[in-house]
Structure 1
Amino acid sequence: MISGYASFNGTSDYLNKFSLPCRESSMFCAPPIAMGTHLGEMNEEDSVLYREGIEYGLLNGLNFIDTAINYRGMRSERDVGYVLKSLIKRGSIKREEVIVSTKGGIIPGDIEANLVPTDFLQKFLLEGGVVQESDVNIVDTHRHVLAPDYYRFAIETSKKHLHLETIDLYYIHNPEISMMVLGPTLFYTQLEKLFTFFENQVQLGNIRYYGFATWFGFLKDPMEKGYLSIEEVINIAKKVAGEGHHFKFIQFPLNKHMNEGIQKQNQKANGKWLSVFEAAHELGIYSTTSAPFYLGKAFDGASDARSMLREVTSTEGVFSTMVGMKKIEHIKENIQIL
């Protein structure tokens, strides 16, 4: 296992070597775009592309990688771990130079074990006693959990995939699914127990920081089902760990089709109705964004990838934008935009 974690000095020095823009937080520095690993097939062909692409990115100025245990049937995390282990062992990069974020909460499948999510849930999680049926919140085909025992399993599994002793940033993945099933009172009650668990994981050195990676949760109107309040979430983090809590990041989509994070004043913070970006800033939280091309649906002929990416990354308040890229040619184009 690779020891250490991303540091402010390590990430700052890394970006300075490439003369790339640097977005600063109190924890580490990141380029305006990060390498996302969501899209692609669960096959070796795409894994080879991802491994080549991640290596190229890390050697050419992109030091922020975003993944999740459920991406591509666990292959994405394994591909990231393969490259990290190889490059750090060779001395090509240092652990403190690289930011790695991953996610848990959505029940994953495991392509190597030939288990789709429903089978993985039954054969591994339920029969293995990791979760109980009552822990699983189901909306359509999505299965989500808030049970701390699941996250204990998920964090340890992600660490093994990534070959990391410490994960820099761990997101609860699409918590709005559980919110839709549980409702606010029960959801926030369970969240307090989960945040207590996460703060303990920080103390144990398994993760450094945690947050929410959402799809529509922060973007809905307050009375809509599945709405998440940033202020309420932060209040729970403060209740659990005081001002020194480690809930530091949120992630949500931002593109020309989903621009509610900028346009809609749907988040209340310190008595004011603000946009998601404004509320996060008001509460001391950093915003990362996803889906700059709306999962490929934004390519309508009116805008090209370069202009869309430039517009998102230049939006005030964006710490870094997660961009799905596995082909070296696309990574080169994105670095040129920076």
Structure 2
Amino acid sequence: MKRTTPWFDVSRIALGTHLGEMNEADSALYQESIEFALCNGINFIDTALNYRGMRSERDVGAVLSKLFKKDRINRDDIVVSTKAGIIPGDIDLQLRPENYLKEKLLQTGILQETDLQIVDQHKHVLAPCYYEFAIEQSLKHLNMDTIDIHYIHNPEISMKVLGEERFYKNLEQLFSFYEDQVLAGKIRFYGMAAWTAFTVSPGDTGYISLEKVIETAKNTAGSSHHYRFIQTPFNFYNQIAATDQNQQVQGKWRTLFQAAEELDIYVTTSAPLDCGRLKNHQNSKKLIRFVLDTPGVLSTMIGMRTIQTVKRNLALI
């Protein structure tokens, strides 16, 4: 069973690629599970430039290239989302994130030190020049001409450092870049994949108002803007997106799911098993079904590194 947007249909479960080791063994497992999923009812893949030292995107790309060549799937039938904003490492080049930042981004002039927002060990950027670089890298890894959804990854990091005024000003510049990328055919839509930004208290320094984000998109491109998706954690033990009225729309407090619906935004969710910590829970199937049955969830991202896991989750839909 799939869920519908005005632009494409997606499976209720998407194959997530966050967890796992940065080695050939896990890449082989992922490629097997991705191929099986795409050929058996799951048409939505979620990844990120920084996942597993860039291996996750490369694993997705290897499978897509294989299946396209064999005409086993059509490009128009699948949806791929990826993310940027967090400084990645590159396991193939044996570069940890701090070395990748220095050698591939700072020394080449793609980024300046002033572009970095740093909270503890987390480094984040909103500079359009970085996203241009990141999108090109992702397209190459994925063996695709167009990314369906490109997310700003964990934007709350930049919000904490910049504060509201500077954050939304920078965001407007980034959105203008994104709209140009849509016109160039590099991406179809963009959004934010947050960890806490949309669900913390409005008084939190990392809080992001979805209404203000949409106002920024409209200021950039009018009502025809392409900011149409967000991603947020949601599971049985973290139901904040459905229970807490922390988002304001036209002066009225709403839950994140309610606000998204009123603002014409589609919500994908992550961490249905709390990033794998609940995978051996005696009622793990029940926990996933809870998310699948929650109104307002377009699709939930579930890490599936083995064919066995894919089969188990396919049975739920």
Equivalent-residue separation in structure 2 for 1:300 and 1:229 (angstroms): 35
Please state whether the residue corresponding to 1:236 is helix, strand or coil: helix
Provide the secondary structure at the position in 2 that maps to 1:65. strand
- Secondary structure of residue in 2 paired with 1:108: coil
Contact 2:234–2:270 (CA under 8 A) maintained in structure 1: yes
Is 2:169 the counterpart of 1:189? yes
CA apart distance, 1:22: 1.4
Distance 2:12 2:145 in 1: 26
The Cα RMSD (Å) is 0.9
Native 8 Å contact 1:257 1:298 kept in 2? no
What is the aligned counterpart of 1:59 among 39, 45, 55? 39
Output the TM-score relative to the length of structure 2: 0.99
Deviations 1:293-336 (A, max 9, x none): 011233585x5211000000110000000000010001000000
What amino acid is aligned across from residue 316 of structure 1 in structure 2?
P
In structure 2, the residue matched to 1:131 is 111
1:93 alignment partner, one of 63, 67, 73: 73
Shift of residue 258, structure 1, vs aligned partner? 1.6
CA distance in structure 2 between the partners assigned to 1:337 and 1:72 by the alignment: 27
Q: Which runs of 4+ in 1 moved over 3 A?
A: 298-301
Using the TM superposition, give the Cα deviation of residue 58 of structure 1 relative to its aligned residue in structure 2, in angstroms: 0.4
TM-score normalised by L of structure 1 = 0.93
Report the alpha carbon displacement of residue 257 of structure 1 after superposing the two structures with TM. 2.3
1:153 corresponding residue in structure 2: 133
CA displacement 1:250-306 (0-9 Å, x = unmatched): 0000012221101100000122100000000000000000000011233585x5211
Aligned counterpart, 1:15: none
Amino acid paired to 2:51? Y
* Counterpart check, 1:336 vs 2:312: no
Superposition pairs of residues 1-338 of structure 1, within 5 angstroms? 21-298=1-278, 301=281, 303-338=282-317
Secondary structure at 1:332 match in 2: helix
Separation in structure 1 between the aligned mates of residue 254 and residue 177 of structure 2, nearest angstrom: 30
Q: Is the 8 A contact 1:256 1:298 kept in 2?
A: no
Which AA in structure 1 matches 2:290?
A: E
Q: Measure, in 2, the Cα distance between the counterparts of 1:112 and 1:333.
A: 32
**In 1, are the aligned partners of 2:236 and 2:290 still within 8 Å (CA)?**
no
% same residue: 53
Q: How many residues align?
A: 317
